[in-house]
């Protein structure tokens, strides 16, 4: 059985700690490939996507180990440069090994990535940027092959991204750190996870300036050193618990997150009526009668698409009509059918969802269509009448460390039905 059972009723209260950010830790593991020797990464969440990235690195020859939330990546002098489809098709983020591998080996072959099925998720910007840096790009047997120019090093240049893609920014940043000369990435993604990656690369000896702003400047260096780095807190996981607080609080304090990384989300929660208090590295959210707000997803510092589904649930309990506009991914309203089956009044027109509330949700058997939508269905179950069973819980476990346990500690009746599948060999990460 691959499901979470959610019992409704009662307020939630207490403190919960966000894990390290999935979307940062995945890229930091990839960045470890850039330096021979043992890189230590702390605050790594215990989630399936990190297991998958650990297996990709192990396949490339890295000795990957985990002790609690500390992951060590012992990178040999010679690493593999070929990642097979069997390892990468379930993890879209695995495409970010492309940049480090071209940087380190001069060539790489990476199968086309998988991950959440969120409509059109191209990698054209990754490939365009690598080509601008001098790589020859070909597609062979559904794999991307990239070769640096003769001499094995990419050449720094100006890269103006037409869209601030998170993955493309990360890949190009990691490719450029050992390129000759200077690379400027204009209109890069500005997410906190990019800043975290740039911070680790700088620790490793890279010369990177401007991460988090509208221009990243990279002066290429010959080689990088292994480091000890701590992953930034997961703003999306933290935001999910903040929404739980607004829906079913009580009062929930979420620790281990920078409130500034959630600024717009917390503003929207306050606009919707929740009481929000900022701490040093925590936020406290208390439930209150909710009112409608409009939400528009955009790249950071805009409202994160990864919290769009959780807000759909929140707004289904708010007085009035809200409009939620999705600008980042198409195919990201697949949770709507499941919420409507629970009694929500939501209709979708193009990339807008119209939510009329408040409505009474009924517990039901629903299926998690993807990671964030799955977590949103668990939130819906918390305020529904009667038990809810969210099947396909493996989607949720890709990105949330022990969601049932953390919610149960806040007073919720949430449990996993059946055992968690052990990750396949060869690594415990
Ligand atoms: C990352 C996050 C994901 C988050 C998203 C936006 C990870 C592992 N995942 O995904 O959780 O929702 O950022 O904050 O970090 N696009 C192209 N061509 C490209 C690259 C992107 O068309 O070469 C499009 C995508 O199809 C999508 C949009 O740009 O519609 C956003 O993609 P991007 O910012 O690259 O997100 P990811 O890195 O895939």
The tens digit of pLDDT for each residue in 336-382 reads 999 999 999 999 999 999 999 999 999 999 999 999 999 999 999 99
333 and 291 fall within a common domain: yes
* Residues 426/51, Cβ–Cβ less than 8 Å: no
Task: Confirm whether 10 is domain-assigned.
Answer: yes
Q: Name 15's Cβ contacts closer than 8 Å, sequence gap at least 6.
A: 252, 253, 254, 255, 282
Q: Is the CB of 165 under 6 A from ligand 1?
A: yes
Both 226 and 238 in a single domain? Answer: no
Which tens digit of pLDDT belongs to each residue from 220-232?
999 999 999 999 9
What pLDDT sits at residue 9? 78
C-beta 172 within 6 A of ligand 1 = no
How far, in Å, is the centroid of ligand 1 from the Cα of 305? 10
Q: What is the DSSP string of 153-173?
A: --B--EEE-SS--HHHHHHHH
97 belongs to a structural domain: yes
Cα(198)–Cα(190) distance, rounded to whole angstroms? 11
User: What would the pLDDT profile of 177-217 be if each residue is shown by its tens digit?
Assistant: 999 999 999 999 999 999 999 999 999 999 999 999 999 99
Instruction: Return the axis-axis angle of helices 124-132 and 98-105, rounded to nearest 10°.
Output: 20
Same domain, 42 and 164: yes
- Indicate whether residue 307 lines ligand 1 (CB < 6 A): no
- Residue 149 Cα to ligand 1 midpoint, Å, equals 28
The closest-lying atom of ligand 1 relative to the alpha carbon of residue 167 is 38
Using alpha carbons only, give the angle 412, 391, 297 rounded to the nearest 5 degrees: 75
Beta-bridge partners for 208: 218
Distances from the Cα of 56 to the Cα of 6, 135, 206, 407, angstroms:
34, 22, 24, 31
How many Å separate Cα 117 from the centre of its chain?
14
> Same domain for 122 and 215?
yes
Q: Is residue 427 part of a domain?
A: no
Question: Could you tell me where the beta strands, DSSP code E, fall in 76-153?
Answer: 82-83, 107-111, 136-140, 143-147
Q: pTM for the whole thing?
A: 0.96
What span, in angstroms and rounded, lies between the C-alpha atoms of 376 and 366?
11
Domain containing residue 336: 3-19+233-417
Residue 122's CB is within 10 A of a number of other CB atoms, namely 11
Q: Are residues 276 and 217 in the same domain?
A: no
Spatial separation of the C-alpha atoms in residues 195 and 12, rounded to whole Å: 33
Identify whether 422 is part of a domain: no
Contact 54, 71 (CB under 8 A): yes
Mean pLDDT of the chain: 93
Is residue 424, in this structure, part of any structural domain at all?
no
Q: Which residues are catalytic?
A: 116
Which residue has the least CA distance to atom 13 on ligand 1? 166
Question: Do both 344 and 241 map to the same domain?
Answer: yes
Same domain, residue pair 53 and 187: yes
Per the domain annotation, does 207 fall within a domain? yes
Pair 177, 30 in one domain: yes
Query: How far apart (Å, rounded) are the C-alpha atoms in residues 312 and 297?
Result: 12
Pocket test residue of 131, 166, 188, 302 for ligand 1, highest count of atoms within 8 A of CB: 166
Say whether both 225 and 237 belong to one domain. Answer: no
Nearest atom in ligand 1 to 189's CA: 34
122 lines ligand 1 (CB under 6 A): yes
Q: Is 168 in the pocket of ligand 1 (CB under 6 A)?
A: yes
Calculate the CA dihedral of residues 303, 118, 16, 318 and round it to 10 degrees: 60
End residue of a domain, out of 230, 258, 277: 230
Query: In the chain, how many domains are there?
Result: 2
36-59: per-residue pLDDT in tens? 999 999 999 999 999 999 999 999
| Angle of CA points 147, 153, 158, to nearest 5° | 95
Letter string b/e over residues 240-262, b meaning 16 or more CB atoms within 10 A of that residue's CB: bbbbbbbbbbbbbbbbbbbbebb
Residue-wise pLDDT tens digits, 236-289? 999 999 999 999 989 999 999 999 999 999 999 999 999 999 999 999 999 999
Which residue has tokens 């919610």? 407
Q: Are residues 75 and 189 in the same domain?
A: yes
Q: Whose alpha carbon is nearest atom 36 of ligand 1?
A: 166
Judge whether 426 lies within some domain. Answer: no
User: Does the C-beta of 150 come closer than 6 Å to ligand 1?
Assistant: no
* 289, part of any domain: yes
Chosen domain end from 230, 261, 284: 230
Q: Which of 193, 210, 230 is the last residue of a domain?
A: 230
Say if residue 11 is in the same domain as residue 88: no
- For residues 73 and 195, membership in a common domain is answered with yes
| CATH code, domain carrying 102 | 3.65.10.10
- At 356, list the tokens: 């009329």
């Amino acid at each position: 059985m691959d499901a979470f059972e959610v019992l409704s009723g009662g307020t939630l209260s207490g403190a919960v700690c966000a894990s390290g950010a999935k979307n940062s830790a995945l890229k930091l593991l990839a960045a470890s490939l850039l330096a021979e020797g043992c890189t230590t990464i702390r605050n790594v969440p215990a989630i399936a996507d990190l297991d998958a990235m650990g297996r990709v690195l192990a396949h490339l020859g890295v000795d990957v180990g985990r002790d609690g939330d500390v992951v060590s990546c012992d990178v040999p002098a010679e690493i593999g440069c070929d990642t097979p489809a069997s390892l990468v098709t379930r993890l879209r983020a695995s495409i970010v090994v492309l940049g480090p591998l071209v940087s380190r080996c001069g060539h790489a072959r990476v199968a086309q990535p998988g991950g959440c099925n969120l409509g059109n998720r191209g990698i054209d910007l990754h490939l365009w940027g690598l080509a601008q840096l001098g790589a020859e790009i070909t597609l062979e047997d559904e794999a991307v092959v990239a070769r640096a120019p003769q001499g094995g090093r990419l050449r720094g240049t100006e890269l103006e991204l037409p869209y601030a893609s998170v993955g493309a920014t990360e890949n190009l940043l990691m490719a450029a750190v050992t390129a000759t000369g200077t690379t400027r990435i204009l209109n890069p993604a500005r997410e906190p996870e990019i800043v975290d990656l740039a911070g680790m690369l700088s620790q490793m000896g890279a010369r990177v300036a401007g991460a988090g702003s509208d221009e990243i400047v990279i002066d290429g260096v010959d080689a990088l050193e292994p480091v000890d780095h701590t992953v930034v807190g997961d703003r999306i996981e933290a935001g999910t618990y903040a929404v739980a607080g607004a829906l079913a609080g009580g009062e929930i304090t979420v620790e281990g997150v920078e409130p500034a990384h959630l600024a717009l989300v917390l503003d929207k929660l306050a606009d919707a009526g929740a009481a929000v208090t900022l701490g040093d590295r925590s936020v406290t959210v208390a439930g209150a009668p909710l009112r409608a707000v409009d939400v528009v997803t955009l790249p950071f510092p805009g409202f994160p698409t990864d919290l769009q589904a959780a807000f759909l649930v929140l707004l289904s309990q708010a007085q009035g009509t809200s409009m939620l506009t999705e600008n980042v991914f198409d195919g990201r309203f697949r949770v709507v059918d499941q919420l409507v089956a629970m009694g929500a009044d939501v209709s979708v027109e193009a990339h807008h969802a119209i939510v009329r509330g408040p409505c009474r949700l009924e517990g039901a058997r629903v299926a998690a269509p993807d990671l964030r939508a799955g977590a949103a269905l668990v939130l819906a179950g918390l305020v529904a009448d009667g038990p809810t069973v969210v099947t396909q819980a493996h989607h949720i476990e890709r990105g949330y460390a022990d969601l049932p346990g953390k919610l149960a500690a806040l007073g919720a009746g949430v449990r996993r039905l059946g055992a968690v599948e052990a990750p396949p060999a060869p690594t415990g990460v």
